[in-house]
C-alpha cells in the first residue's frame, strides 16, 4: 500500500550507469563528457522538540552554535563526497550554500545548494551536505534528546548534464 502511494515520486531510467555489461559495479567513464555548469539542491527535515528548538534558536546549546557547526560539517562533507561514496567522481566545487529554516514548534529544514563546472553532476554532493548537516545537528543536541528524527533527505533540483534538468514534485514536506 505504502509503495503504491509513493509511485508518483519515483521514475526509473532505462539503464543503470554504474553497472557494466556483466552486471558488476563500475565507475562511469566521463573522459569525453564536456564540462558544464552543474547545480543541485537537496533538503532534509528534522523533528527536534520544542524545548530543543528553542535552545538552538536562542543559541544556548552546551556544545555551541548548532547551525554554524552543522553548516561547516555539511560543507566539509560535500567536498569529501567522492571519498565516502565509492563510485562518485571527485569534483571541483565552485559553491556550497547551506541554510536552516526553523519551523515552529518542533521542526528544522536543511537546504543545500551546490554549484560546479565539471563533466559530471553534483547531486550526491548536495545530498551528502544535507545528510551530514542533519547528522551534525543530531550530534549537537543528543545530550538534550535522543528522540530527534531526521527524515526526507532528498534531491530537490538539478541542472546540467546529459539527463537534463530535474525538479522534485512539490508536496507538503
The widest CA-to-CA distance across the chain, in whole angstroms, is 56
Q: Give CA–CA dist 19/13, Å, rounded.
A: 13
Burial code (b: 16+ CB inside 10 Å, e: under 16) for 63-84 equals eeebbebbbebbbebbbebbee
- Grid look-up 565516502 returns 84
List 29, 139, 156, 171, catalytic entry = 139
Residue whose C-alpha is closest to residue 158's, from 28, 11, 37: 37
Q: How far apart are CA 15 and CA 95, in angstroms?
A: 30
83 three-state secondary structure: helix
Please indicate whether residue 58 is annotated as part of the active site.
Answer: no
123-141 and 50-57 are packed helices; what angle lies between their axes, rounded to 10 degrees?
A: 100
Residues belonging to the active site: 139
Amino acid at each position: 500500500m505504502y509503495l503504491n502511494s509513493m509511485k508518483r515520486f519515483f521514475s526509473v531510467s532505462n539503464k543503470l550507469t554504474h553497472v557494466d555489461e556483466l552486471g558488476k559495479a563500475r565507475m562511469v567513464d566521463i573522459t569525453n563528457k564536456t564540462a558544464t555548469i552543474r547545480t543541485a539542491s537537496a533538503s532534509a527535515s528534522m523533528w527536534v522538540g520544542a524545548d530543543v528548538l528553542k535552545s538552538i534558536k536562542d543559541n544556548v546549546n552546551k556544545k555551541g552554535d548548532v547551525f554554524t557547526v552543522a553548516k561547516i560539517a555539511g560543507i566539509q562533507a560535500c567536498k569529501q563526497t567522492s571519498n565516502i561514496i565509492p563510485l562518485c567522481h571527485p569534483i571541483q566545487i565552485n559553491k556550497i550554500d547551506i541554510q536552516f529554516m526553523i519551523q515552529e514548534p518542533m521542526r528544522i529544514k536543511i537546504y543545500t545548494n551546490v554549484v560546479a563546472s565539471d563533466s559530471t553532476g553534483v547531486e550526491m554532493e548536495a545530498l551528502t551536505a544535507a545528510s551530514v548537516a542533519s547528522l551534525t545537528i543530531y550530534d549537537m543536541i543528543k545530550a538534550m534528546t535522543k528522540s530527534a528524527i531526521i527524515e526526507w533527505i532528498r534531491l530537490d533540483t538539478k541542472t546540467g548534464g546529459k539527463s537534463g534538468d530535474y525538479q522534485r514534485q512539490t508536496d507538503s514536506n
